[in-house]
Chain A
Amino acid sequence: MTDWLSRHVPKIVLAPTFFAVLLFVYGFIAWTAWVSLTRSKLMPRYEIDGLIQYDRLFSNPRWDTAFNNLFIFGALFIIISMVLGLMLAIFLDQKIRIEGALRTIYLYPMALSMIVTGTAWKWILNPGLGIQAMVQGWGFPNFKFDWLIDPKMALYTIVLAAIWQASGFVMALFLAGLRSVDGEIIKAAQVDGIPTWRVYTAIIIPSMAPIFLSAFIVLAHLAIKSFDLVIALTGGGPGYATDLPATYMYAMAFSRGDLGQAASSAMVMMGVVFAIVVPYLYSELRAKHD
């Protein structure tokens, strides 16, 4: 009896969460896929009608903008956050004083909600209230910094705010990575008279490859699901210049009563996530086998 129990307790304990995940994640993904093939409007309908919603989606210029924005925003956000985070981590790694305090200062933005970040940056970037007004007030009346209201530049204000929020977190990840590198190797390198920058580029950073991958995965999913930052900072505007797929989906599902269209955009978003996550999972699994 106790034998049987000890063998099956893990399965019994895992079963409820297993079925919950099966239903509420995979079940609803399947349901969304179904709805995306119908002409659902206010309420879901279940008569399948082919790929009409995807046709509508890809011929909608607003979706084009949203989808392109995702790649511009994602690429800039991920690359700059990683570079900045890595630099901060390397500088903090130089055995400086008050490192603990500095670490906290850099990490703290991550504790803020994206809504707060967005609202604060909206004020900072507002030409009439923020940086532009301040510099003009200092006696430079020709100073201009109006990205927030310029449809061509507004997307980069979102990149700016997102980097401000996430790079401290990336720094913490990298710092942990730097500290986990075997000190003996570094000492050996120093004894051989190799300059510090060579130690970093040739030894430490290459050995941190898994940390890069984790940072990339975290940042990539932050970028794809970005929603609250856009809503708070620009509301998708000016016009719909800063729309992202998530805000597009929200508008279709909840403001316009166009569930079919929202479902199809959700499916495309999921496709993007899969394109990133599947190679990651594949490499993880292969690493286990080797």
Chain B
Amino acid sequence: MKHMTAFAALSAAALTAGAAWAEPQAEVLHWWTSGGEAKAVAVLQKQFSDRGGVWTDMPVAGGGGDAAMSALRARVLSGNAPTAVQLKGPAIQEWYDEGVLADISDVADAQGWADVLPAQIAEHMKCDGHWCAAPVNVHRVNWVWANKSILEANGIEMPTTWDEFNAAADKLKAAGITPLAHGGQAWQDATIFETVVLGIGGADFYQKALVDLDPDALTSDTMKSVFDEMRTLRGYVDDNFSGRDWNLATAMVMNGEAAFQIMGDWAKGEFLAAGKEPGVDFVCAPTPGDAGFLYNVDSFAMFKVDGEDKKEGQDLLAELIVGPSFQETFNLNKGSIPVRTDVSLDKFDDCAKKSAADMKADGEAGSLLPSMAHGMALHGAQSGAILDVVTAHFNSDMSSDDAVKMLADAVANSM
């Protein structure tokens, strides 16, 4: 009798599995495994199964995605790529060059992506003119976060130029407060670096230096003053910053041990998770400079798959990812803003609203720019070479003259 039940259960399982075969399939490789991120992915997963799809989750832990990329490489080499993979920036085109990305232009055209996505960001989602990836969010990188009560106690306004920032920092330092909370990891050094490039050089200079890698711009006097400012900033960081994680630096601002942090808007998630309110406990402002918006866009690249059910799954996934309802719930959970410009922002906080408004304005003014430090502007080898120079300069007593020379050499060497 026992065997009979077991047998019945088995065949039932086999039947459901067989029935599911005809439904849209999607295997999704991502590295969103931490609290808020996992919740955000669960939203997509639910929407997918509500539409009758079968979702195979393939999470690979490890924040930077290095482990996920190794897993992806193995899958692609064995000729069995996942349906969709969390990829971003020029890495999408690099994978396209390996000849493994699919064309999802049908969905994109049917859903009118070209009309609702900012043109600069849409460009990242295209391979040789056709759509091959779907964007999920926009993180702004050039934010300064500040502890409001420290600023008020010392009579400091949010700085709008780097000179004002330095003046405020000197004042704070004299008062015995660490002016700048920072974690000494190469990518964090580079995050500050690119906001300084944008702030001192302006949008055109940023484009020339960190996107087009123009040798004249890299060795210019402007770049030297960028490194001078980096040296000044180094003096505002506490002695113990080496290797500190970014969220610990955020905690320093939260607890009143430090006044400012320069970090993308994922830092806001830390403040909100600790029950702090924007404008009340902490202040957000774009990093010093006239204008400019450095974006870091997460997206899913679609890989070539075999079988009708998998292709259907891929199309459905693409449709859902860019769909307004997913964009809203996902970005509320993740702390970023929707990549669509037509999503209502009523439920979002003030920092997010400012971010969305700036994205629109900077998009029109031509100062919506890809973040170099977060792999949106350059191939891995090139941005890596720049990161090496920036972090070597920040962590030593190298002169600005040596730094620009090293920068130009490193970029030439990475080609």
Contacts and interface: CB of A to CB of B under 8 A. Distances in A.
B181 to A, nearest CB: 13
Interface stretch (A15-23, A55-63, A67-75): A55-63
Nearest to A56: B413
Contact of A149 (B76, B239, B413): B239
Contacts of A126: 240
B391 A240 contact: yes
Interface string B367-382: 0000000000001110
A92 to B, nearest CB: 37
A240 B396 CA distance: 10
Contacts of A43: 73, 76-77, 98
Interface in B51-81: 64, 66, 69-70, 73, 76-77
Interface string A158-192: 00000000000000000000000000000000000
A50 to B, nearest CB: 15
B409 interface: yes
Interface residues of B, number: 35
Contacts of A254: 66, 69-70
A148 B69 CA distance: 31
The binding surface of chain A is classed by DSSP as loop
A146 interface: yes
A255 B66 contact: yes
B381 A258 contact: yes
A81 to B, nearest CB: 25
Contacts of B392: 61-62, 239-240
B388 A62 contact: yes
B222 interface: no
Contacts of A146: 239
B384 A235 contact: no
A122 B240 CA distance: 12
A103 interface: no
B241 interface: yes
B184 interface: yes
Given A257-B94, A257-B379, 12 more contacts: A60-B413, A61-B392, A127-B240, A146-B239, A151-B396, A237-B395, A251-B384, A254-B66, A255-B64, A255-B380, A255-B384, A258-B380
- Closest CB pairs A-B (n = 9): A239-B395, A149-B242, A238-B395, A256-B380, A128-B240, A257-B380, A256-B384, A258-B381, A239-B391
